[in-house]
Structures are given as C-alpha cells and as structure tokens.
Structure 1
C-alpha cells in the first residue's frame, strides 16, 4: 500500500501538464543557452584572443543586470502576469542573439550581453513563481530535482553539441540555433496555464479586503526590501545564502579564467572548454540524482560540496603545469571538472530546495529576485578579483587560491552547522514574524 501511494505521488508531477510544459520550455532554452555560452567564450577567448580583463568584462556584462535589476524584476514578477513576462523575455532574447551574431567588436558584445541579462533577470523570478503556482507544495522538491536534472543534462549535451556545431558549421551557427530555441520556448510557454493572480495565496480575490489586497498602496521600493527581510528572518536560509554567495565569489575568481588556464596547455583544442563543461555537467547531474537520497542536513551537504569543489579546482591548476604526459593532464582535468560539478551540485541543489519550500508563493518573485541579485554581486566581484590575480600572479595561482578558499568555507560551514540549525529551529517554533509576512504579502 505504501509503495502504491509513493508511486502515485511520484507520478502525479509528470501528469501535471503545466509543469511539464514549463519543463519542456526550459529544456530547449537551456540547450540554446549552453550552445551560445560555449560559442561566446570560444569566440572571445580563443578566436579574438581577449585579455583576462576582457574575458572578465564578458562575465560582468552578463551578471551586472542581475545585480541591479534582480529585486526590481522580482517585484514585477509578483505584480504582473508571469507567463507573459517569460514569453516577452524569450522573444527579446531571440532578437538579441541575432545581434550578437552580427556584432564585430567586443564593445558591441558587451552592450548586447547587458540587454540579454536584463531579459534573463526578468525571466528567472517569473519562472520560479510560476512553478509555485502550478506545483503542489508536497511536490516542490521533486520539481526542483526535475528542473535541475534538465539543466545539468543540457550542460552535458549543450557544450558537446556546441562543439559539433562549431566544427561542422562554425561558431556563428551556434547563435542562430540559440535564437531558434528561445522562439520554441516562447511557443511552449503559451500553453502553460496557472492560477490567476487574483486567486493567489494571501487572500486576494475572495472579495474580502485583506492586508494582501491593500499592498498596491505601498511603495515600490518597500516591496523590493521585502525579499531581504524575509530571508533575514530565516537563519537556515540566510546562512545557506551567505555560503552560496561566498562559494560563488571564490569560484568565480578562477572559473571565469578557465580559458586563460587552458591556453597554458600547448596546442589545446578549441573544444576543450566544451568537453570540460560537459564533464562538470555530468558531475552535477549525478549530484542532482543522489542528493535527495542522502540523509544529511542541508548545511552538511553544502559544506561537503564546497570543500570537494575547492580541492579539485586547486588540483586541476597543479595538473596543467605538471610534467605529466598530455593525455594524463586531460584525464585529470576532465575528472576534476566532473568532481567540481558534483560538489557544486551539493551546494546549489539543497539550497534551491530549501529556498523553494520556505518562500511563500506571493513573495516568490521578490525573494528569488533578491537571491539572484546577491549571487550576482558575488559573480561580479569574483571575476574582478580573478582578473586582478591572473594579471598579477597567473592563472595557476588564482586557481589554487580560489580552490583552497572554497574548501575552507565548506569546512567552516560544517563546523558551525549545529549552531545555525538550533537557531533556525527556535525561529520556527516562534513562527515567521507575522508583521513581516503581512507587510510583504501581495
């Protein structure tokens, strides 16, 4: 009997048409994103021979819109129709990819990446809110697992397919294919339905004036601050976010300079970056499949993942300058990226599950927008530090410093997790501050 109940619950999400349409849209758009990203980095880093700072500027152009626009996009995602926001974002991004295809200089690429980033930041919190609309609370963990699995599968398939497309048709074709995937995603999203905004959680739409229905009189900027207030009220979520941002900061010091590191390998192939990204995707996909089955706490998983990721990043840098045969260096790099991907999965996936479960639906946009803004701050500062370190000390030392720093953060989190979890339990016993929830409801 228990097995039948479990089977029914497991299958019910796959019978959720709206969620599966969202997942299909994510499938094609994620595929295009990886095709475009690998082509972009290959074009700028290996074909145009960009300097470390120019490569850093590419990453900054993609992350800066999320830093500035994350909270604002979160409020927009909570106030307006989420499906329409996602469709508009897909259509505009398809046009922007055509612009990148036709660009001939780095400054043009930077401008187009900023514009694309604005559409990315509009899409992300709207999608998270839509998932909360169409998925039952008991299936949110499974929904996160499905979504993360698709993302990592595309991280595996996308770079490999990108390498094949570049080899057969050239780099520019990758941008064409990505533009088409955004158009397909928009078409799929048209078929997604969901609870109307006036029927959302919080008492809106029942004909009774509530705190939620009065929120339109509030300041737009007060709404923006709500996401941070909600996160701050949950010690476990707050510590997880601090850890996530810290790991991202340290990883970005090296991650954005991977191309610079690979240039130290004599005769390195153009598709080397794509293969290593695919290896990383395999590792993260493995983490996605097993992370729910491991009975550790959220912070334990994040701590172990951070430590493992950091150690293998440092090892990969040492391997590049070692006297080992070239084939052995490639094996070490592929293995290191695989293990780094698995470690990253143990950091990101448990936090995503925690964030999805703890965030009230009517505040999804603002909370996810705030998280996106804070993580983008780490993504922006990290490459700047990485560019400085690579310029001053070289990529090998940058990888070693960032890797060991990440490992240290993981060990610190494991040491402090008991204290954090006790504080979080005490907060749960007292419940979320009622006033904070009422003031933030829409």
Structure 2
C-alpha cells in the first residue's frame, strides 16, 4: 500500500481535521471515554491497596483488567473489520457505562477484580474500532495527523482524568468517582450516535468465511511487512515496562513518596501536560517525517526521564520532582504513541487495520500480563522500588529500535521508511 510523498515543512496545510464534524464527534467521544478510563486507573488500585495493604492484591486487580486483551483482543480486531465500526463503538460504550455502575454493588477486592475483567472484555471492542473508524473519515494523505490527534485525545484525557478520579475518591468517595466514569461512557455513546457515517459496503468482510482465517490475514501482514515486523520487539519491551508501572504505581507513590490518591492523580495529570505538547507537535510532523526513527528516539528519551523519576525518591523522597519529571516525560510518551499509530495506519490497508491494531495490542497485552505478575511477586519481596524496570525497558526499546531503523535503511529493497507496501 504505497503512501503519498512526504510534504515539505513549508508546504501549505489545510486547517485541522477536527473542523470535520464527523471526525470531531468521534474524537470527542474518545476524549470523554478516555477521561473516564484514566480516572478509573487511579481509583481502583488505590481502593484495593488501601483496603488490603497488599501490593499483590493490587497487582492482581490490575492483572484482571489486562487479561481481556489477550483472551479477546484478536477477536475484537476481526469484529471491527467485519461490521460497522460506528455501531460497535456505540454498543461498547453503552455496555461500559452499565458495567461501571456495577462497582457500586461490590466491596471485596476479588469482586472488583472480577468486574474489571468483564468490563474490559467489552472494552476490547473500542480500541480497534476507533483506530480503524477515524481513517475512514480522513483524507488518505493525512493519516499521520489522525493518529496524532488520537494521541492528543488521550493526552488531554490524561491531563484531566487522573486528577478527577483521585480528587473525587479523596473528597467525595468511591461512589462519586464511579458515577463520574459511568457518565463519561454515556456521553461518549451519545456523541458516537450523532455521527452520520455508514461503512462502505466494499470494505466489509462479513461475508468472507472464517474469523480465524481473517485474523491470520492481519497477522500475516505484520509478519511479512519490514517495518511492522521490526516494530514488534519495540512494542513488547515498552509493554514490559508498562506492566511494572501499572501494577506498582500506587504502592510506589504511597511507600516512597507518601502520596495519596489525589497526589497520584496530579502526578499523572502532570504527565499529560507534556503529552499535550508532544501530541500537538506530532500532528504537525507525522505526515512529514519518518515515523519509526521518531518513535525509537522518543522511547529512549522517555526511558532516561523514567529512570530519574523512579530513583530519586531513594535519595530525596519529596513529591515535586516527580511532578516535574513526569511532565517532561509526557512529551516523548505522546510522540511514541502517535508514531506507533501512524505506522499501524499508514502501513496497513483499511480492511485490515482493526486486525493489525489487535495483533500489536495482543502482543503488548501478553507481555504486560507477565510483567504485572512478575512485578507483584518482586514487590512483595524487595519493595515497590522494582518499578524502575519500567525505565530499563524503555531504554532497551530505544536501543533495539535504533538498530532496527539502521537495518531498514540499509535494506536494498526499500528506498524510504515511509514508502512501504
């Protein structure tokens, strides 16, 4: 699938794609849904850790939410390529709203973990459907901008969501925090319902036999495509780090920074400040620059900053450096996400985008689950400082990615990282 030539930095660019009403509605729906998800990311681990005092119980709760991508993520990718993606998004957000309210009826952490598992089973439909729907609405020469807008969407939600979740939990209690998340998904469903779009019948593969065979089409593209294949170990290493930080962020904040849920919420929101700036920059360069080199450079930079975040409390356990360093790290995190999305969208045809997205999501999820389990075991023995594995993993991803970029550039079969089919 050839990609249009790169634009010159001085070439005229039309106004933002957000001026398109349909794109704005889908983008806004993702924004409020992500806001709720980021709020819940803070709320549930703190509720479990404060009620049990156990890093292992906290890790198992996080693990329960990480299992569905492995078990159902690949099916979700096929579903998003078979049926209308707008209707899938609408139904998934309505289901997430109802299931979120289910947290009001449970108290013990095993039930919270079980409900998180069920809720995230439905949540698997959101990622591949949104990832594949937005490019349907955008010009083919601006898919990098669409991917970067998705990252901006997430960064803005991260700016507000964790602070909202932590503050609501600390000041108004668990029920208020849960109602906030449920309302977010309800509003997201309303915005998706207002989108006037039907998937072109020529893109549907619902009439084709075999969901397993269709999944293999997406996996085969990843296997034979030079850049997508090279991206696999980079994504896996970053997922390893994310598993450690997901399981241990709340214990790390409590034990080494003496921070509560509201403080952790503000730390995560500080990351979003840099994330917003990084996302805005990515929307400008995504269709002008090679995505892979930008991704790996950003991953290495993020690793350096994470190393500082997770080691300084052992020497100087105060909160403000974590806020500042996390804000700085937000920019390279956003660039990593935007460039990964750009690669997945530009290097796969529309009929395969949902499956390609799910293949990478599945790889990342398997690694993340293993890392979450390992993090819980290690933290019980040596403490939450083992979260530094997140920084080491990002540094390794940067090194592996740089080596992959050199191999791709030296490959005589390819003239440019962006001219791949």
1:270/1:220 CA distance change after superposition, 3 Å: closer
Which deviates more, 258-267 or 16-25?
A: 258-267
2: CA distance between counterparts of 1:289 and 1:425? 33
With structure 1 as the length reference, what TM-score do the two structures score? 0.85
Partner of 2:383: 394
Alpha carbons 1:307, 1:408 under 8 Å: kept: yes
Deviations 1:305-352 (A, max 9, x none): 222222222322322221x3x5xx212211232233223223221111
Partner of 2:39: 35
SS at match of 2:319: helix
Picking from 215, 224, 228, the partner of 1:237 is 228
SS at match of 2:260: coil
Q: Does 1:10 align with 2:15?
A: yes
1:311/1:14 CA distance change after superposition, 3 Å: closer
2: CA distance between counterparts of 1:82 and 1:174? 29
Superposition map of 1:30-429 within 5 A:
30-45=34-49, 47-200=50-203, 216-265=207-256, 267-291=258-282, 292-293=284-285, 297-322=290-315, 324=316, 329-396=318-385, 398-423=386-411, 426=414
2: CA distance between counterparts of 1:127 and 1:344? 20
Q: 1:424 deviation in Å?
A: 8.6
1:171/1:142 CA distance change after superposition, 3 Å: same
1: CA distance between counterparts of 2:296 and 2:402? 5
Deviations 1:229-266 (A, max 9, x none): 11122211221232022112134224420112122247
Alpha carbons 1:38, 1:159 under 8 Å: kept: yes
1: CA distance between counterparts of 2:211 and 2:404? 37
Q: 1:300 deviation in Å?
A: 2.5
Aligned-residue RMSD, C-alpha = 2.6
SS at match of 1:359: coil
SS at match of 2:195: coil
Q: 1:361 deviation in Å?
A: 0.8
Alpha carbons 1:251, 1:406 under 8 Å: kept: no
Q: 1:77 deviation in Å?
A: 1.2
1:251/1:72 CA distance change after superposition, 3 Å: closer
2: CA distance between counterparts of 1:361 and 1:399? 38
Q: 1:145 deviation in Å?
A: 2.1
Q: 1:281 deviation in Å?
A: 1.4
1:384/1:266 CA distance change after superposition, 3 Å: closer
Alpha carbons 1:235, 1:423 under 8 Å: kept: no
1: CA distance between counterparts of 2:65 and 2:138? 30
Alpha carbons 1:234, 1:427 under 8 Å: kept: no
Alpha carbons 2:294, 2:335 under 8 Å: kept: yes
Alpha carbons 2:237, 2:396 under 8 Å: kept: no
Which deviates more, 26-35 or 419-428?
A: 419-428
1: CA distance between counterparts of 2:32 and 2:412? 38
1: CA distance between counterparts of 2:10 and 2:414? 36
* Structure 1: gaps (5+ residues): 205-211, 433-442
2: CA distance between counterparts of 1:428 and 1:193? 37
Q: 1:25 deviation in Å?
A: 1.0
1:139/1:303 CA distance change after superposition, 3 Å: closer
Q: 1:296 deviation in Å?
A: 6.0
Alpha carbons 2:30, 2:188 under 8 Å: kept: yes
* Structure 2: gaps (5+ residues): 1-7
SS at match of 2:124: helix
Structure 1 stretches of 4+ with a deviation exceeding 6 A read 2-5, 427-431
Q: 1:36 deviation in Å?
A: 2.1
Deviations 1:175-216 (A, max 9, x none): 11111121111111112122434143xxx7xxxxxxx7xx83
With structure 2 as the length reference, what TM-score do the two structures score? 0.89
Alpha carbons 1:67, 1:376 under 8 Å: kept: yes
SS at match of 1:10: coil
Which deviates more, 26-35 or 286-295?
A: 286-295
